[in-house]
Amino acid sequence: MNYRQFKHFESANFRADILSQPWDILKRFRDPNEMWLKWKALFLGVCDAHAPLRSKRLRPSKSSWISTKLKKRMNYRDHLKKKAVKSNNPIDWNYYRTLKNQVNNEIRIAKQDYYITAFDKHSGDTKKTWQIINELTFRKSNQTVVNEVEYTGQKSANTLEAAEIFNTFFSEIGQNLSKDVADADASYTDFLKD
């Protein structure tokens, strides 16, 4: 998983660097795709300088299919690896690799059996089936609850009124955004290919 590291992030320096970028260069582009790519490069360059991208491996929580017996075999496999690394003896390495292959095969079979049983058990329950699929694909189902919606001073906690507020927002967003865009000399026909 990639994430941005904000350990040494200073918002004032970030803002200053954003403002110092040569944004006027974007006016040179007639193709909006090229303009977007240049804007993105400038912006991400500043982001990378102030909040660099890092990656980390996410480990899933304890897997349901790992039994106590299988866990003991995994611990013994790890012990053999430490022993092989320490001794650097080809016999120790061979013994470790053999056990590693056996344990990996046992894990694969245990996982397969667990999910086959789970899908069979909940074959008629769509909600539970999706929970199993999300677990299998490491997707978290975070549900956000919206209690109140506000747009242009209009507030509502009623779901029907909230739907109307959302409808108004999305139906007006194009017109509202176009007010902030300066008129260009280019015509839409300039962007059409022959």
Whether residue 1 contacts residue 58, with contact meaning beta carbons closer than 8 Å, is answered with: yes
Whether residue 86 contacts residue 58, with contact meaning beta carbons closer than 8 Å, is answered with: no
Candidates 94, 62, 57, 100; CA nearest to 78 is 100
- pLDDT at res. 179: 79
- Look-up: residue for tokens 């804007």? 39
pTM above 0.75, yes or no: no
d(CA 14, CA 145): 32
**Greater pLDDT, 168 or 146:** 168
Amino acid at 56: K
d(CA 92, CA 179): 72
67-86 confidence digits (pLDDT tens) = 889 999 999 999 999 999 99
At residue 59 the predicted structure's pLDDT band, cuts being 50, 70 and 90, is low
Is 142 a residue whose pLDDT tops 70? no
DSSP 89: -
Amino acid at 28: R
* Domain segments of the chain as ranges: 2-57, 68-129, 149-177
**Greater pLDDT, 39 or 140:** 39
